[in-house]
Chains A and B, each alone.
Chain A
């Protein structure tokens, strides 16, 4: 069987799985899986760009996804004029001062004489900078958070169209990736891994604590959406009569219609990014990236700028994750920093890339769909398995109750087992790199 046929067969099998979900469970949950699958596929594309193309070990995906989510708040929510009046300029000035003191420190570092003078000088610049920054920043933040704390208490966004938030999410993630890449990309692979892991935790900590920015753990809810609201559709006589004409109840029909709208939008984004990634892979640039990945020393000897290329691909991959993060927050309609967990948003994406086939864009996309499907479906499946296992036990058996309660934790176990099996028996994934 040639590879093209095999790949087509794999994607058709994936589509059949989704269709089966639609028939057996409900079309609503099938569309739900499809939508998150599309987003997961985009995240997997981003990680594949970094790991598959260039061999960069980024376990900070969660941070970039969360930054994308932040972008969709900052772009789409209406601004809060009272908060801006209360502390907007103060916050901006404080941030500028903070950035300036770091800038001065970086500027001064090579210019100060080595030894004690440099240590003391750097210390003085940073300490004074920190005090000045806190002095300007803290009162402004307090003023903003005092404005209607129950409903706003933050600066709000720009009130721009939703679709604009997605590219901006990418830009925000790219900016963070530039800073991280500048400082950490020279490190060895496992150091880069720890560094990115740490950055992701810091980004989540910022989102949780900086209430003036995105309300922290108080969450921003009711984000504007690119598709109509279910309620509006149900109140629209035209829509209701069409739905009834199709033999659907208007509530179900409206929810399906909305999810389908999201699916169409996300598919367009995925196809564009996939096309770009394929172009990149087969271009001279893609060949150079793979050459660097396979033998850095040789590539450097051939005059390739290894550090520069690494930075480039790190930024691009993170931007793709940021776009996916913004799309996900739009789909959820809310930003909830408490829900970002590394196992779900970093390591699961890695499972997708490894299972799908690192180095192959189609593989990453397939892995995104398949692993997301399993992540959702393992729970009902293991619930069923547990029912069968415990069927013979007494009704009030403690073991039985424990087993039935624990089905929710089977997903992590299953993901780990799948990943280990693939790494052992098919280390190049379902659709291997050519």
Chain B
């Protein structure tokens, strides 16, 4: 698959020159009485791949939703470049694309129409221009044969690739992935990891990946952060994070399977 990308000339209109960094400043989020994010601050530099890791329910996806402006902070703010992420107008100024965990493809539209929706709605080019753009993205992701199919006819891996292709058609300046390798077999996971890295290489787009997949994070991240219980526990390059002595991080990165004293029993005891 990776060699396929290397040989594929990306001939669609070039990405708009500027890529954007992201600054999260003292971000907190509460849903009712539950605090999901606590005083999070981090900076993603323009053009880098930044991974946000953490166990399930730690607040990673909520943080991602704040970055794309789907959630409003309880306190603090998120900036994309100099623009406020919670302002809907920002999405008109910055081309940002989010690849959702389950793809979030439009079930009533074919793969082609899913990809063509963005340029059509924003009237970016005429129908032949849209066709070029869509077919280019599909070619890059080896999805030419799926062009007429509907999302319900696709496998999990193909849905993810179509979702990435849809993001690609948007020519993003900021590209975000929510659990891109979840529910995929190891080969398809590796394929998706290669796609993410290759896209950044070819387009220099700022990439933020939310994941709990260690292989993904440590193989492609320029920097990464680990979130636990709504707080950032570690931030730095993969090598720096690996050297962390924090037992919670060590346990998260290298969980030991202990059949004599299983974790779920400990959780049960804690709840009691």
Partners in one complex: no
Q: Which B residues fall within an 8 A CB radius of A?
A: none
